[in-house]
Amino acid sequence: MHGRSAQAFGFHGSWREYAPIAFTNLLLTIVTLGIYRFWATTRTRRYLWSRTRFIDEQLEWTGTGMELLIGFLIVLLLFGIPLVFLHFGMQAMIFQGYAGEAMMLAIAAVAFIFYLGGVARFRMLRYRLSRTWWHGIRGGADDKGWGYGCSYVWRYLLSFIVLYLPVPWAMMTLWNERWSKMSFGPFAFRSEAGAAPIYGRFLLFYLLPILLVVLLFAVAGMMMKDGSLLPRPGEEADPRVFGIIFLVGLLFYVGLGLVALVFYAKFFRVAIGGLSLSTLDFHFDARTKDWFRLILGDIALVMLTLGIGAIFLSYRHWAFFVTHLDASGEIRLSELTQSTTAAPGQGEGLADAFDIGAI
């Protein structure tokens, strides 16, 4: 099958069509004290996948709510409960005078949780590909992600040691490693995105807090010279001081958020642009202004509906992603055979525990 001149991916859903699913999910999740959320996630994915077209065929989601529940329970039993006991055990050690040993255990626990966060990202992608079908073909990976968790830890540990400067390299190489171990049908994904194109925007994000601190000290120095920063006893402080502190704080939070958005917009374009499957090359064309409109729309939707509109965020994010996703090249159905990778028997319990993944 040859790629068409039209966009390879398309989304044909409607928020009016999705609304009964969203409100039913919300009601049943409340009534069941949160237990239904695993089935709610499955219903949402089943709808979104069924309204997503790739070339000539809709996607199909074959996962189940029970798989997600089992995955969550496994993580709770194997990791959650032991970590709770470890927490109380460390408190007991401190009361008994073993503060040093308790501190070492705490550091080891944090490192282990961070490691599990990396494994969760890998296994989440593996599970979702294994439950995504197109023309009766699914994806997946034989790798279970334990080695990826080690890569995740040492790359970010190195970034921390050298003041976070290698973070773009860590993000991109981890993206490449994760996708390069995945496959769809008989074909392995290839991911060869480089970090160089995103470094400029990362440095802007990295240097902005430093520039704001320098600005704050410079203004404080000027005000100290004219005596308005430190008023004499009995005098009121110059209102400009509070105005400047407020302005710098606003610039920090709003400015840092906007610069982070600029960085991530570029990251996703470059990362997805380096991804390929057989003779297909993927592209993502959402720019900063597109992400900005998405986030402003999210905020307005949630605020104007007093929080109820949050049930539509998954729909909005999926539609945004698919609308800006494209592929070029060709794929022949005669070459597609079913994946031989092992399909995980349970859902993305680790990702759910760490609240990773938008949908």
Query: How high is the pLDDT of residue 90?
Result: 87
Percent of the chain exceeding pLDDT 70 equals 88
CA–CA separation, 63 and 69 (whole Å): 11
- pLDDT for residue 201 is more than 90: yes
Highest-scoring range by mean pLDDT, 76-85, 219-228, 308-317:
308-317
More confident residue, 137 or 247: 137
Instruction: Map out the domains of the chain as residue ranges.
Output: 71-191+342-359, 195-268
**What does the block give as tokens for 326?**
């494209």
- Contacts for 240 with CB less than 8 Å, ≥ 6 apart: 223, 228
CA distance to 49, 163, 244, 255, 287, per residue, from 261 (Å): 27, 21, 25, 10, 10
Residues whose CB is less than 8 angstroms from the CB of residue 140 and which lie 6 or more positions away in sequence, other chains included: 126, 129, 130, 182, 183, 339, 341, 342, 343
Strands 137-140 and 325-328: unpaired
Q: Lowest-confidence range among 80-94, 215-229, 252-266?
A: 215-229
pLDDT at position 78: 83
Whether this model's pTM surpasses 0.75: yes
Whether pLDDT at 237 is above 60: no
What would the pLDDT profile of 154-180 be if each residue is shown by its tens digit?
999 999 999 999 999 999 999 999 999
